[in-house]
Amino acid sequence: MVTFLAVATAEFLGRIVIIDRAAQLADLLGIASVWLLRSLVLRRNPQHLTIVITVFLGMIVILRLEPFIFSPVPHPFGWVPFLSFLRGSIDVAVQALCEKFFAYSRLIWLLCHRGLRLNRATVLTAALLFAASWTTRYVPGRTAEITDAVMALAIGGAFGLLRQASPHAS
């Protein structure tokens, strides 16, 4: 509980101080809802990890496809990884890269803790991200490219290398 509050507070304050963003009610409500979900539901449910994974998967898909306004004509799909990062603002690109790294690595980690082998968790995450990116072609104003799937594969590969290098690897 203390760790959750410390991380939530650090993330919230970091957005205000580092990114120069004003505190928003949605941020506070998000922290409060996660704390309530954890306190009231997840502790009493033996399938709590499945619930967390499902919510996390939903969050990733929602963030990739918002604002849910779809065009009947798709725009092109980018097959060059990280091209949008190179063409955009460095501040926005670094923030997006860090957020995506956290989300994708956390999803792979959660799937591994649920019992999937690392290679399957990585491929599943990459496939989900590829499908979401492919669908993003129909969302005006959003970049549809292979970057997210490549990031997931790189993260899974890094986890595999770290597991091999660790003297306590299972």
The string of pLDDT tens digits covering residues 128-165 is 999 999 999 999 988 899 999 999 999 999 999 998 88
Residue 4 lies in a domain: no
Does residue 17 belong to any structural domain of this protein?
no
Whether residue 13 lies inside any domain: the answer is no
pLDDT of residue 51: 81
CB-based contacts of 151, cutoff 8 Å, min separation 6: 81, 100, 101, 104, 129
pLDDT higher than 60, residue 170: no
Asked whether residue 39 is domain-assigned, the answer is no
- pTM to 2 decimals? 0.78
Answer whether residue 22 is part of any domain: no
Residue 61 lies in a domain: yes
The Cβ of residue 5 has, within 10 Å, a number of other Cβ atoms equal to 11
Task: Answer yes or no: is 78 within a domain.
Answer: yes
Whether residue 140 is contained in a domain is answered as yes
**Count of domains observed in the chain:** 1
The answer for residues whose C-beta is within 8 angstroms of residue 111's C-beta and 6 or more apart is: 53, 120, 121, 124, 125
Q: What is the extent of the structural domain holding 55? A: 45-165
